[in-house]
Structure 1
Amino acid sequence: MTASPSDPTRLSALDAAYLAVGRRRQQVNSPTFVIEVAGSAPEQDTLLDHVSQCVARMPRLRQRVRRSGLGLRRPLWVEDVSFVLEQHVGVKHVQNEDELRMVVDQCLSEPIDLDKPPWDLRLVTGHSTSGFVLLLRVHHAVGDGDALVNQVLAEFFKSRDDPPILLAPGHRISRRRDAVLGLAELLADTTRRPAPRVAELNGPLGTDRHLHWSTSSVRDYAVAAERHGGSINDIFLTALGGALRDWLGARQLPLPADLAVGVPVNLRSHREAGALGNRLAGFRLHLPLGPSDPTRRHVLVLGRMQALKSGRQLEGAMLEAELSRLVPTPFLGTSMRLRFSRRVVNLMASNIAGPSRPATFIGRRVVSIVPGPPLPPRHRLIAQMSTYANTVSVAVVADSSVGDADAIVASIGEHVSRLVGDQ
């Protein structure tokens, strides 16, 4: 018998862990997407009608979280019988781009209401005469970045008759023995080479977040990858290493040779390609800061990423993700905090592949999509690159205790340009 979309569905262990770790005021766990759209803003009735159609196609957007009485079992997704669309969709007018960025930071800083379906959409006007901005906020328990961009966000771009969008399948465990050995290697690497102490990157969090971003053509990344080898994600990681080197150096701080960086990897199979939820593992990359020359740094990044991809560490991380199902529900939050421990990783650096073709929102052209990821526990910075059509967006979310984080975004662009110029 097939379950109805309105039937209660229990959260996976990883989804429930993201829910548990976000219960503290300092640990807001709702990714925010900044979507720039060209043209005049739709009327509020038109906006509500369009979003209503999207919600009808995606039942999760009408469901809220129901926790068990004693917290001994994972929570359930249940139909919100008092769902009111207007409580999730709003319109706001600002005077300029500075006010827009303040609204974005507010979205990243405020906890989402878990007594209702955990998402909201704001249409913001006034910062530009050529378009408007959509701010879509969704709790991490609903899905990881790939799912939120290519499933939830894609629904808002679809018309009534568009075909469904499916994610490309991800990595799967091929041999159980390799996975066990890979997990042992991952644990040994963490023990032998713990993440360096960098107080600016790891420590207690405040309650405010700031998103810094830039959007450019994908061409520079593609040219750099063609000249130096690897993927555009390898180019991003190389540029990020250089930007962090510049940023720490400008603050006259000790410069470690490497930083331990978590690089998430999508684990969805063909069968799970259209599913929400979190299906992630990842590499633990020792990101080199040492070489000032970006070409030399890229050689190191490329070699280390190729070694990780051809080795067993990812299989071990995938096994670790599978074993999380065995963690008792009351300890899921603790297990998640241990995963992001200062000894394990200094920061996360992810890459989301968005729609490859230009999208529209109620007949208006979508110009750019910038994901604003939430900060993991005790991580004061997180970096993310995303692609959409022929654009690349680079975003850095920083805790309020971190200064000059906008310089990191600018420096990433400069290091990509240097790679393009190097022969």
Structure 2
Amino acid sequence: MKGRSPELSQVQEQIASRIERMPTLACTVARRGRRTLWEAAPAFDPYDHVHEVRTSEGPTALDEAVDALLGTPLDDMAPRWGVWLIHGYSDSEYVLFYRAHHAAQDGQAMMDALRALFSTEPPASSARAALAVATARRFWKQRIPVRAIAWTLADAVKSLRASLSWSTRHDLSGEARVVSAAVPEAWLRATGRALGASSNDVCLAALAEAVRGWLPTGSIAPGQRGRELYVHLPISTRAPEERFTVGNRLSAVRIPLSFWEESPTARVAAIARAIRPVTTEGMRRVLRAQTGLPEWLVYQIFRRVAAKTEGTLATSGLMRLPGRLAMGEDPIETVVPTTFLDKDLFEMAFLAYKGQVVVSVTFDRAAEEVGNLAALWADAVERLHEDVGLDMSTPATVQAP
């Protein structure tokens, strides 16, 4: 953010004044007998969730601060989110770093939280009412779970297919780094329209192309040639009345990325064909119906989803952050998503905000010398745009976190 850093108290006061716009920020996990549930945290104080990081001056200080925060644990006994004011690395710029536990907030909830805390628009009057309407009822329990069982079994069979995997020269270090890049959102929209695909389809096709150029020479064993590379695509299972409920409301489906396809435009078309059947409302009902199955089976389903089988990439899908955000009078010009790196070589997140789509790559430092995957993704988007003969008047940018 451009401007002189505010005092920590100013950030705390803005956060505290906005909590009522999203009451689930005050919820925490509790045990009641054998049940685990969300409830209002006793003695909740929003000031406890706003922190300060003072850095030294210099171009690498911000990167080092963000990388360190990626591994900072969140308090198990409190609502699992926080805001960090990072400053000191520049006299005319500062960063607000927002983190939340994925069990408490999925992508949609995180976008809602950012808008609640920093939006320049009036609060949505429906937020509190929607929260009151949403209860612990299982809205989909009345669905016949036969389709859910069939989908689960079919997906389990598909997951047995050998996936493309690769090796690096080093074992994982457990230390994370973040790099990011941005392209005009208009590029993705225009490319998608020209190819009969969505912006998200174009994001994933560019991801496959970027990984092809990023993988170190010799990292794919000869016997792996021809194996498909899959991505776990998050699918929201929120019913409309659950919009402002606390907790994660996501499932995921495996999507082939046509990794070996030489034509980037043909890859976009193939990904679009693979995604369309699994992003319908009917499929969302099937995924919601999975939670109406016996508890032990639900547990196994979500274990499988969370396991991220070897060679399957994890991404956020393309999230959108509408409107404008600000800290006090300072407009927030850029929002860079970050992800938690859980024993993976890298994970990616895509976010559209203010006419730009930012890709963020969180990767293990073992891959630090391989290359900038975010920049390769931006290059792949640009080449796709060129391939369909569209206007290239707005350049892509590579940026710091």
Output the TM-score relative to the length of structure 1: 0.77
The answer to whether the 8 Å contact 1:121/1:137 transfers is yes
Partner of 1:112: 74
Partner of 2:208: 241
Question: Does the residue aligned with 2:240 lie in a helix, a strand or coil?
Answer: coil
The answer to whether the 8 Å contact 1:144/1:279 transfers is yes
Partner of 2:164: 196
Distance 2:349 2:237 in 1: 18
Partner of 1:99: 61
Partner of 1:281: 251
How many residue pairs get matched?
Answer: 374
Distance 1:188 1:227 in 2: 34
Deviations 1:187-218 (A, max 9, x none): 22223x243343459x9865322122122321
Partner of 1:15: none
Partner of 2:189: 222
Question: Does the residue aligned with 2:273 lie in a helix, a strand or coil?
Answer: helix
From 254, 258, 264, give the equivalent of 2:234. Answer: 264
Partner of 2:361: 396
Q: Which has the higher contact order (CA 8 A, sep 6+)?
A: 1
Distance 1:44 1:357 in 2: 25
Distance 1:165 1:265 in 2: 24
Question: Is structure 2 residue 382 aligned with structure 1 residue 413?
Answer: no
Taking a change above 3 Å as real, the CA distance of residues 326 and 206 of structure 1, as seen in their structure-2 partners, is farther
The answer to whether the 8 Å contact 2:177/2:363 transfers is yes
Taking a change above 3 Å as real, the CA distance of residues 154 and 311 of structure 1, as seen in their structure-2 partners, is closer
The answer to whether the 8 Å contact 1:263/1:283 transfers is yes
Taking a change above 3 Å as real, the CA distance of residues 128 and 234 of structure 1, as seen in their structure-2 partners, is farther
Taking a change above 3 Å as real, the CA distance of residues 132 and 374 of structure 1, as seen in their structure-2 partners, is same
Deviations 1:307-362 (A, max 9, x none): 44469866554433444x7139xx95x76443333547612122243332222221
Aligned pairs (5 A) from 1:224-373:
224-250=191-217, 252-254=219-221, 255-309=225-279, 316-323=286-293, 326-327=295-296, 336-341=302-307, 343=309, 346-373=312-339
Deviations 1:270-310 (A, max 9, x none): 21122231111222101121023312222222222234446
What is the Cα deviation at residue 45 of structure 1?
2.8
Distance 1:405 1:143 in 2: 32
Distance 1:181 1:163 in 2: 39
CA RMSD for the aligned pairs? Answer: 3.4
Partner of 1:210: 177
Distance 1:157 1:165 in 2: 18
Aligned pairs (5 A) from 1:41-190:
41-67=5-31, 72-74=34-36, 76-81=38-43, 83=45, 85-86=47-48, 88-150=50-112, 152-158=113-119, 161-164=122-125, 176-190=145-159
- The amino acid across from 2:156 in the alignment is L
Question: Does the residue aligned with 1:371 lie in a helix, a strand or coil?
Answer: coil
Taking a change above 3 Å as real, the CA distance of residues 351 and 285 of structure 1, as seen in their structure-2 partners, is same
Partner of 1:381: 346
The answer to whether the 8 Å contact 1:262/1:349 transfers is yes
Taking only the aligned residue pairs, the percentage that are identical comes to: 21
After the TM superposition, which parts of structure 1 deviate over 6 Å for at least 4 consecutive aligned residues? 172-175, 310-313
- The amino acid across from 1:374 in the alignment is F
